[in-house]
Chain A
Amino acid sequence: MIKDPQACIVRKESWKDYHLLSLESPKIALEGQPGQFIMVRITEHSHPLLRRPFSIHSIDGRNVEIFFLSSGLGTSLLSQKKTNDTLDILGPLGKGFNLNDHFKEKDVTIIGGGRGIAPLYFLAQRLSFLGASIRIFYGGKTLADLPLKDKLKKAGFDTFFSTDDGSFGFKGLITDFFKAELEIFTPIHIFSCGPEPMMAKIAKIAQKKKIPAEFSLESVMGCGFGACWSCVRKIRRGNKEEWVKICEEGPVFSADEIIWKEGDK
Chain B
Amino acid sequence: MTDLSIDLGFLKLKNPVIAASGTFGYGLEFSPFINLDKLGGIVVKGLYYSPCQGNPPPRLAETASGLINAIGLQGIGVERFSEEILPRLKDYNTAIIVNVCGEYEEEYVSVVDFLNKKEGISAYELNISCPNTKKGGLCPALSPENTYTVVSLVKKISLRPVITKLSPNVTDIVEIALSAQEAGSDAISLANTFLAMAVDVETRRPKLANIFGGLSGPAIKPIILRMVYQVASCVKIPVIGLGGIMSGSDALEYLIAGAKAVEVGTANLVDPEATIRIIDELEEYCVKNGIKKIEEIVGTLITQ
Hey, which bits of chain A sit against chain B, CB under 8 A? 1, 3, 41, 46-51, 88, 90, 219-223, 225-234, 242-243
Contact = CB atoms under 8 A, between A and B. Distances in A.
B25 A230 contact: no
Contact of B29 (A3, A48, A226, A243): A226
Contacts of B74: 229, 232, 243
Nearest to B31: A1
The binding surface of chain B is classed by DSSP as loop
Interface of B: 22-25, 29-30, 32-33, 45, 53-54, 56-62, 64-67, 69, 71, 74, 217-218, 246, 266, 268-273
Given A46-B246, A227-B30, 20 more contacts: A1-B32, A46-B65, A46-B217, A50-B269, A88-B271, A90-B272, A220-B61, A222-B60, A222-B269, A225-B32, A227-B24, A228-B60, A229-B22, A229-B54, A230-B59, A230-B69, A232-B54, A232-B57, A232-B74, A233-B57
Contacts of A219: 57-58
Contacts of B66: 49
Contact of A41 (B25, B65, B271): B271
The binding surface of chain A is classed by DSSP as loop
15 contacts: A3-B273, A41-B270, A46-B65, A48-B62, A49-B66, A50-B269, A226-B25, A227-B29, A227-B30, A228-B23, A229-B59, A230-B69, A231-B57, A232-B59, A243-B57
Contacts of A230: 57, 59-60, 69, 71
Nearest to B66: A49
B218 A49 contact: yes
A152 B51 CA distance: 47
B58 A225 contact: no
B52 to A, nearest CB: 10
A41 B272 CA distance: 12
A220 B29 contact: no
B256 to A, nearest CB: 21
Contact of B65 (A49, A220, A221, A233): A49
B59, B66, B71, B218 interface centre (most CB from chain A within 10 Å): B59
Given A222-B67, A227-B29, A230-B69, A49 B270 contact: yes
Contacts of A242: 53
Given A1-B33, A220-B58, A227-B268, A243 B24 contact: no
A222 B214 CA distance: 14
Contacts of B24: 227
Contact of A228 (B56, B217, B218, B269): B269
B296 to A, nearest CB: 29
A201 B256 CA distance: 58
Nearest to B269: A223
